[in-house]
Structure 1
Amino acid sequence: MGRWDTAQIADQTGRTFVVTGANSGLGAVAARALTKAGATVVLACRDVTKGEKVAADLGERASVRRLDLADLASVRAFAAELDTPVDVLINNAGVMAVPLRRTADGFEMQIGTNHLGHFALTGLLLPRITGRVVTVSSGAHRAGKIDLADLNWEHRSYQRWSAYGQSKLANLLFNRELQRRLTAAGSPVLAVAAHPGYAATELQSHTETFLDGLMSVGNRIFAQSAEMGALPELYAATAADAKPGGYYGPTGFGGTRGYPGPSGSTAAAKDDVVARQLWELSEQLTGVPVLSAY
């Protein structure tokens, strides 16, 4: 597919995008590229102050609304107050390898933020979404395992990296099941997933261990820029040839860097039985029914 970059984003004038976690990193880069292409972008951010600084640089087509994915009340409030149709939702926000913490609703923080918060947000906005739902996963899904009996680490000994892998695998299973249900419902909306490879962002600085320092060095030496890391999600959100249920990421050096293209995933990420079971459990936990008839 060649070297796809932001210069190939078609004119997005008149289209509205919601980007979660757009106050920094990949989300801020994606918002910048989309507004440059003519789109109206809603920066959905937990840190509104940071979000407003980003929006100020993007111009009048960028606005900021508070969204805390670790609090379902905030997710519901955001969806209720968003009074516009949405062409594309980009589920970009995330946390990585944090110590054991709980969301406002008692979920383990990584599955709660990375998956359940976005699951609820997607479900609440879906009646207004006309184009695509893009969900950002990670190569770390390869180390993930979905434990349906203990999704929130209430009985197991907490392992932060295993919890991160589980949440990123959940992202891909959600994307797969969402596309299946959209197709069954006869909806033209596409579900597309992406991952950034190894990109230098603030995501790697919140483990609260010595790893923060090591990953900071790794970001400077090995990682590609956030601008490159955001390309796969921008491709998934705007490219005419993005496939329903597709998964895109960097195509160079083991999928860690380079320009975007189709990305491989594990057999666990294609398990339709677990995808359906996770979907049903997510509906129960969040209280948000999403295309339940399918």
Structure 2
Amino acid sequence: MSTWTARDITDQTGRTVVVTGANSGLGAETAKALGAAGATVILACRNVDKAAPVAAAIGANAQVRRLDLADLASVREFAAGVDSVDVLINNAGVMAVPKSTTAEGFEMQFGTNHLGHFALTGLLLDRITDRVVTMSSLMHRFGSINLDDLNWERRRYSRWPAYGQSKLANLMFAYELDRRLTAAGSTVKSLAAHPGYAATGLQGHTQSLWDRFMGIGNLFAQSAEMGALPELYAATVDSVSSGTFIGPDGPFEQRGYPRVVGSSGKSHDRAAAASLWGESERLTGVTYRFGK
């Protein structure tokens, strides 16, 4: 696995993949690699104009559809327009943004990164034939799930802990989805991935002094093409097991080729994951239906 690249993706002809946030960064590189391998790729993006050049680069295999994960009405509208999907890649996200809220009043990072994808996956689940890949981050290790204040209404808002919470929630969701699919006897897989430290452009949208710092840091980051490899591996390799977390194989998982990696103890807290799941269903109004 240590030298696996996008050139090793098997023929994806006849398969349909939804990639959220495919207009730039990791999502764009993922969409382009899958399109080159023959997949029909649905670029699910809030800004469809920005997705157009990526779709043009892919060619006839690409479709652009609007999806705003910070608006559950948009999530429902998008899901209603999808007939069947082999692979859903929950890639989109926001990072360390100033305090703001989604259309439903959720804290923006938790609402977009976790709740939006939780709702999308639940609404599409009966039409997903192969697997769900959810992007997390090394920052999950610095996150905590505060079930009493998931939306930072009682605490003073802090952008980086809020980001860490959202990325821990992504990972806990992927693990819990795997457990529930397995219990239901489903053959659909749930996997998670993280890109290490990759130059994606996400780091430059914090609207703070961090933008300048992260811009300098990008000089030492691996490329978006390399950062996309873990999610591409998770999305396409037949032998990878459900419930697996894929990240780079280099020092401290900052860069390198995809391999199975570990995660924090908090991410494996089954009781917390079940509680987070219940709160996520309550907040989004999306109840999962598991059938064989």
| TM-score bracket for this pair, using the shorter chain length | over 0.9
Aligned to 2:271: 273
The amino acid across from 2:200 in the alignment is T
Aligned to 2:5: 5
* CA offsets 1:226-267 (integer angstroms, 9 cap, x no match): 000000000000012211110000010210000010111000
* CA offsets 1:188-215 (integer angstroms, 9 cap, x no match): 0000000000000111011111110110
- Aligned 1:82-231 pairs, distance under 5 A: 82=82, 84-220=83-219, 222-231=220-229
The amino acid across from 1:99 in the alignment is P
Aligned to 1:45: 45
Tell which deviates more after alignment, 91-100 or 235-244. 235-244
Give the distance between the partners of 1:242 and 1:105, measured in 2 at CA.
36
- Please give the secondary structure, in 1, of the residue aligned with 2:95: coil
Instruction: Determine if contact 2:2/2:249 at 8 Å carries over to the other structure.
Output: no
The number of residue pairs the alignment matches comes to 292
Deviation, structure 1 residue 292: 7.0
Instruction: Determine if contact 2:21/2:46 at 8 Å carries over to the other structure.
Output: yes
Give the distance between the partners of 1:205 and 1:31, measured in 2 at CA.
22
Instruction: Determine if contact 2:192/2:234 at 8 Å carries over to the other structure.
Output: yes
Instruction: Determine if contact 2:248/2:254 at 8 Å carries over to the other structure.
Output: yes
Instruction: Determine if contact 2:197/2:221 at 8 Å carries over to the other structure.
Output: yes
Aligned to 2:62: 62
Deviation, structure 1 residue 186: 0.7
Aligned to 1:243: 241
Give the distance between the partners of 2:97 and 2:2, measured in 1 at CA.
36
The amino acid across from 1:251 in the alignment is D
- Please give the secondary structure, in 2, of the residue aligned with 1:249: strand
Deviation, structure 1 residue 2: 2.7
Give the distance between the partners of 1:118 and 1:213, measured in 2 at CA.
29
Deviation, structure 1 residue 291: 3.5
Q: Would you say 1:33 and 2:28 are equivalent positions?
A: no
Instruction: Determine if contact 1:15/1:40 at 8 Å carries over to the other structure.
Output: yes
- Please give the secondary structure, in 2, of the residue aligned with 1:214: helix
Structure 2 gap segments, 5+ residues each: none
Q: Would you say 1:81 and 2:81 are equivalent positions?
A: yes
Give the distance between the partners of 1:14 and 1:270, measured in 2 at CA.
35
Give the distance between the partners of 1:250 and 1:2, measured in 2 at CA.
9
Q: CA RMSD in A?
A: 1.1
Instruction: Determine if contact 1:181/1:291 at 8 Å carries over to the other structure.
Output: no
- The structure 2 residue matched to 1:255, chosen from 249, 253, 256, is 253
- Please give the secondary structure, in 2, of the residue aligned with 1:258: coil
* CA offsets 1:116-170 (integer angstroms, 9 cap, x no match): 0000000000000000000000000000000000000001000100000000000
Instruction: Determine if contact 1:96/1:164 at 8 Å carries over to the other structure.
Output: yes
The amino acid across from 2:130 in the alignment is G
Give the distance between the partners of 2:208 and 2:105, measured in 1 at CA.
23
The amino acid across from 2:32 in the alignment is R
* CA offsets 1:59-113 (integer angstroms, 9 cap, x no match): 011010000000000000000122x210000000000000000000000000000
What TM-score does the superposition give when structure 2 sets the normalisation length?
0.98
Instruction: Determine if contact 2:22/2:31 at 8 Å carries over to the other structure.
Output: yes
- Please give the secondary structure, in 2, of the residue aligned with 1:74: helix
